[in-house]
A = this chain, B = another copy of it.
Amino acid sequence: MQRVKLTDVARAAGVHPGTASRALNPATRDQVSKATSKRVERAAQRLGYVPNPLARGLRTARSYLTAMVVPDVTNPLFPPMVRGAEQVLSTAGYTLVLTDTDNNAATERRQIEQLRARGTDGFIVATARWADAVLDEVAAAGVPAVLVNRNTASRRLPYVGADEHTGVVLAVAHLVELGHRRIAYLAGPQDTSTGRERAAAFRQAVAGHGLPSDRGMMRACSAYTEAAGAMAAGRLLAARRDFTAMLAGNDLIAFGALAALAGAGLRCPEQISLIGFNDLPLVDKLSPPLTTVRLPLREMGALAARTLLTAMDRAAPDGRGAQSLLGVELAVRGSTAPPPDTP
């Protein structure tokens, strides 16, 4: 089976290929008389012409290809965002390439460069680090890109995220309401925006409630993993046990904390309350079901895609650096309870 090409259409319609091209392109159709345009269009229809995106892309330097870069597809945090983004982009005529950097900066750089060489029109990046050289280059090169979930220090690129601050505030308020006054925090890695902002929000929230704030009550984990969470929680427990609740930088860290609590013979929530962040699937089925902050992941992906679409629109190159935050809510479940009887 031979693919029908533009020349075939032109021959069938009795015009020059160039004319046929103009007739088929809505943006240039007005450079062709209505009669010939109709004729070309019908010929194309009859022959079943489908333009070759490669050839078109080679000439126009557009590929209608977009890419989403995530650190790890198997982290349940990302698939909903991917899904939201894909839906928006595919209805807009774009194809979405998903690429997994394996949490590795070198891989990330290689992937992005490869995709740039391929002529990718725009990027949605969920792997941002607080100081991220690759992204600074991308921003400098003027490649349309939108950050999602994680931001960079420079804030040179549009960003779509969740209202982390409010999430932490809600969590702390819930604990205070239950009667807790000494709350520990297991922070996420400080080279990510989420790690930093949640930690900052925690400090503010604690101070806002007039609770004893104490640097010893905070521990930063080296990564958003269960292992890192377990290690940090273990060290915290070894150092002191005067707190009645823990807030974790995310759910994975919370799992680690849960394991550390079990290892120390402490029961949750009877002795220590625990709150996570992200509301991963199945955390409501654990024992105890994890109280956590729910993020509108799918909406974040969709909004990031819409933001990217406007960024790729050459007609409107403004709006650079728009920072959007979506609302969050606290899912109260079984891992939080009043503190053990305070006399």
In the bound complex, do residue B100 and residue A50 qualify as a contact, i.e. CB atoms below 8 Å apart?
no
Closest residue to A137 on the B side, CB-wise?
B1
* Size bracket, chain A contacts: 35 or more
- When distances are taken between beta carbons in the complex, the residues of chain B under 8 Å from A90 are 99, 111, 114
Q: Please determine whether A117 and B83 come into contact, CB atoms closer than 8 angstroms.
A: no
Q: What is the bound-complex CA distance between A283 and B95, given in angstroms?
A: 34
**Residue numbers in B under 8 Å from A95 (CB-CB):** 97, 114-115, 118
Minimum CB distance partner of A141 in chain B: B1
Q: Select the stretch in A31-39, A52-60, A269-277 that faces chain B.
A: A52-60
Indicate with 1 or 0, residue by residue over A41-66, a CB within 8 angstroms of chain B CB atoms: 00000000011111101100001000
Inter-subunit contact B79/A83 (CB<8 Å): no
Which listed residue (B3, B98, B287) contacts A97, Cβ 8 A?
A: B98
- CB of A214 within 8 A of chain B? no
Q: Please, how many angstroms separate the alpha-carbon atoms of A63 and B55 in the complex?
A: 11
**Residue of A54, A58, A72 contacting most chain B CB atoms (<10 Å):** A54
B117 near A3 with CB under 8 A, answer yes
Given the known interface contacts A83-B100, A285-B286, A286-B285, the answer about A54 and B58 at a Cβ–Cβ threshold of 8 Å is yes
Query: Is A54's CB under 8 angstroms from B50's CB?
Result: no
The contact of A281 among B54, B76, B287, by CB within 8 Å, is B76
Contact of A54 among B82, B99, B119 (CB under 8 A): B119
Residues of chain B with a CB closer than 8 A to A141's CB: 1
Interface class of chain A by DSSP:
mixed
A27 beta carbon closer than 8 Å to chain B: no
B82 touches A52 (CB 8 A): no
Contact B99 A86 (CB under 8 A): yes
In the bound complex, do residue A50 and residue B114 qualify as a contact, i.e. CB atoms below 8 Å apart? yes
Q: Using A58-B58, A76-B281, A83-B73 as known contacts, say yes or no to A53 and B119 having CB atoms under 8 A apart.
A: yes
Contact with B along A191-202 (1 / 0, CB 8 A): 000000000000
Question: Given contacts A79-B79, A98-B82, is CB(A52)–CB(B282) below 8 Å?
Answer: no
The minimal Cβ–Cβ distance linking A165 to chain B, given in whole angstroms, is 26
Q: Within 8 Å CB of A82, what residues of B?
A: 73, 98, 100
Residue A185 CB within 8 A of the other chain: no
* Residues of chain B within 8 A of A74, CB atoms compared: 76, 79-80, 83, 281
User: How many whole Å from A235's CB to the nearest CB in chain B?
Assistant: 22
Q: Which chain B residues border A99 with CB–CB below 8 Å?
A: 86, 90, 96
Nearest B residue to A55 via CB reads: B58
**Chain B nearest Cβ from A253, distance in angstroms:** 14
When C-beta atoms are compared, the residue in chain B nearest to A255 turns out to be B285
Nearest B-chain residue to A226, judged by Cβ: B285
Bound complex: CA A114 to CA B51 (Å): 9
Q: Does A177 contact B (CB under 8 A)?
A: no
Q: Name 6 A/B residue pairs within 8 A (Cβ), A-sorted.
A: A72-B83, A74-B80, A82-B98, A95-B115, A96-B98, A281-B282
Chain A contacts to B: CB under 8 angstroms? 1, 3, 50-55, 57-58, 63, 72-74, 76, 79-80, 82-83, 86-87, 90, 95-100, 111, 113-115, 117-119, 141, 255, 280-283, 285-287
